[in-house]
Chains A and B, each alone.
Chain A
Amino acid sequence: MRRRHMCLLAATVALPFLAQPAWANLVYVSNEKDNTVTVVDSKTMEVVKTINVGQRPRGITISPDGKIIYVCASDDDTVEMIDTATNEVVGSLPSGPDPELFVLSPDGQTLYVANEDDNLVTVIDVNTKGVVAEIPVGVEPEGMGVSPDGKTIVNTSETTSMAHFIDTSTHEITDNVLVDSRPRFAEFKPDGSEVWVSAEIGGTVSVIDNKTRAVTHKITFEIQGLRSEQIQPVGIRITADGKKAYVALGPANRVAVVNTETYEVEKYVLVGQRVWQLAFMPDGKQIISTNGLSNDITFIDTETDEPIKSVTVGQLPWGVAISPN
């Protein structure tokens, strides 16, 4: 109610930028090509700041308390930390070589980083900034998912085409599940029952049962007028109630909306070019896509699954993370 009221206020009174309302979320977008993170106000849908970061920023995530944004600076071999209060880079973590994607443990204490060039997953304690373990995985590790209980992480290796299940207490691989070509992303359902893994070149999403660690469903995509080679699933997000999954389809320029009970695609939302990653607004009412080749992000309404607005950010936007307040 409060939000609705304030919205109305914001719409009627042209608030100056500095009086940025506290309830607006800040959207942080890593721009792979121009070494920046763009900060967008979710209410005004305008860029409020551009932060210079290390070279080739890709994976981006936020601490559970909302205070720190972590960004992989792939070509600088570090993970940079941005303070969300000041929107300044305040430090960095060791990451191992060429970090691309990572995932933060649900308690915010441990960062699991995929190191593409060394076939490793590096485990980092964010408090001590020390490397806790290095786990050998398949060729070109990329996607990283963590189970809601924090007990399991899943890494995908692109050339090996596997999802590696890793026990976070022992740092050892317990299961290796073959999926389709170039798996890019792993996302657990909020209840931890399934892991969804996208395969960019294979053009599919494999649904893996987290108990049996076997592929139970394979989701395929068909878009009229597009060849199958153009449909390249990358980022995946599943709603908090576990009912819908959103899959970014790369050069197909669309986000697929998938029913998680039937595993059927219910809609394709046209966004921008080469759609890469996704993130929900904290209230779940919108999801934001990064569209690499059109240099913008698209806000999508999750009730109607219609695009609301696209906002121009930096060059080759890659990942997106959203602050909770």
Chain B
Amino acid sequence: MIMKSTVPNTLSVLFGFFLLFVNVSAVPAQQAATNKPAKPVVETRIGYLRAYEPQLALSVLDIPPRDEGVAGANVAINDNNTTGKFLGQSFALDVTETKFDADVVPVFKEMLARGDKFILTDISAKQLLSIADLAKDSGVLLFNVGATDDSLREEECRSNVFHTAPTRSMLADGLAQYLVWKQWRKWVLLYGSHDRDKLYADAIRRAATRFGATIVEERLYEDKGTARRTDTGVIQVQKQMPVFTQNLPEHDVVIVADESEVFGSYVPYRTWTPRPVAGTAGLVPSSWHPASEQWGGSQIQNRFDKATGRRMLSKDMQAWTAVRILGEAITRSKGNDPKQVETFIKADDFSIAAFKGQKLSFRNWNWQLRQPILIGDGHGVVSTSPQEGFLHQFSELDTLGVDRPETKCKLN
């Protein structure tokens, strides 16, 4: 059903949030600290700019929900408002949708015109770079909740862009640590032919070198354009995948790098030799898992499920975390001036709690959020990295991704 709606209904989305906005701003007047005079309510609008088009996946279970990410931001808006009612603060979300390859500058300017000073982005790296400097000139803080590109934290880093999404290198390092801990050190790498698949493969290669694994062979799976859903397709797939993985050197694990969902999900259980599969399919590293209940996680999961009727995905958590970071900064600094909020978030002692067992903080050399990486399959969480024994002089979380001494980021 999701697949049918090709034109995003931005108006109705906006209207929905307008209603929410009206409701919540009415609450604080009634419930503000009871035996004291009601405080004037300070409102903060948080923008959410997303590129959305219906997407296919090899398994229907993996089709991204219509409100992926936005739903997480909304739950965090509600959380911020519950806190805000005690302090005379309210929060509202302003969602704008665009297409994958669209020029986002015009819609971004509309958001600026509406007065958005804090904007979450779930757009491509290219789109993000097209607005980052414009945002800076307008005194706007951006929170990248979607793009995992390392380049946005390295060569193309910006002082006004915070990243709650992990990078591909953080994901690959999290997975690699677990595989090495398991002593599965010989890897085969199967990667797709699209740019993002190759970037994921690059991150896997880097992780192998970093943690002492060996990629014994690589194979490219060319996307020749094929329908993902055909009634008898599975019969062909059952023959294709074993053949594709035939005659490989001895290996412990098969890593697939297929963000484009062309072949990766077909690999588990169909390899020539029986080996576990990891990467974008099989055992997958991610910032969150719909089944994670550790460290108080069942509370956010229940809250999310109650609000949305579905389980919480990584992008939902990345957006939730970004809105909570703003809530934390605005609550504690008692104001929503962007400069003040930026100073607060960039302070050395800033941290945020996000159900991952320890406080999360920003890397001050590129404003990437440090975070544990969950390693899970379709069913549950198998492990959480960093793994025990991977040490670091400053923070074990910095064993995941590009570290300070190697960064190419130069903030100005």
Where the two chains meet, the residues of A that have a C-beta atom closer than 8 Å to any C-beta of B are 98, 116-117, 119, 136, 138-140, 157-162, 164, 172-176, 178, 181-182, 200-203, 227, 229-230, 232, 251
Contact = CB atoms under 8 A, between A and B. Distances in A.
Contact of B82 (A160, A172, A230): A160
8 tightest A-B CB contacts, nearest first: A201-B353, A160-B83, A229-B358, A176-B86, A172-B34, A201-B359, A181-B353, A139-B79
A162 B83 contact: yes
B191 to A, nearest CB: 34
Contacts of B296: 140, 158, 182
Contact of A201 (B33, B302, B358, B395): B358
Given A117-B303, A139-B82, A201-B353, A175 B359 contact: no
Nearest to A250: B357
27 contacts: A98-B299, A98-B302, A117-B299, A119-B82, A138-B82, A138-B83, A139-B82, A139-B83, A140-B296, A157-B83, A158-B296, A158-B299, A159-B79, A159-B324, A159-B353, A160-B79, A161-B328, A162-B83, A164-B86, A173-B34, A174-B33, A176-B33, A181-B351, A201-B353, A201-B359, A203-B359, A229-B359
B31 interface: yes
Given A117-B299, A160-B83, A160-B86, A182 B353 contact: yes
B331 interface: yes
B29 interface: no
B87 interface: yes
B156 interface: no
A162 B303 contact: no
Nearest to B392: A227
B352 interface: yes
Contacts of B395: 227, 229
Contacts of B358: 201, 229-230, 232
Interface in B2-37: 31, 33-35
B249 to A, nearest CB: 40
Contacts of A178: 331-332
Given A172-B35, A173-B33, A162 B324 contact: no
B116 to A, nearest CB: 24
Contacts of A136: 31
B302 A117 contact: yes
Interface in B299-337: 299, 302-303, 306, 324, 328, 331-332
B142 to A, nearest CB: 24
B396 interface: yes
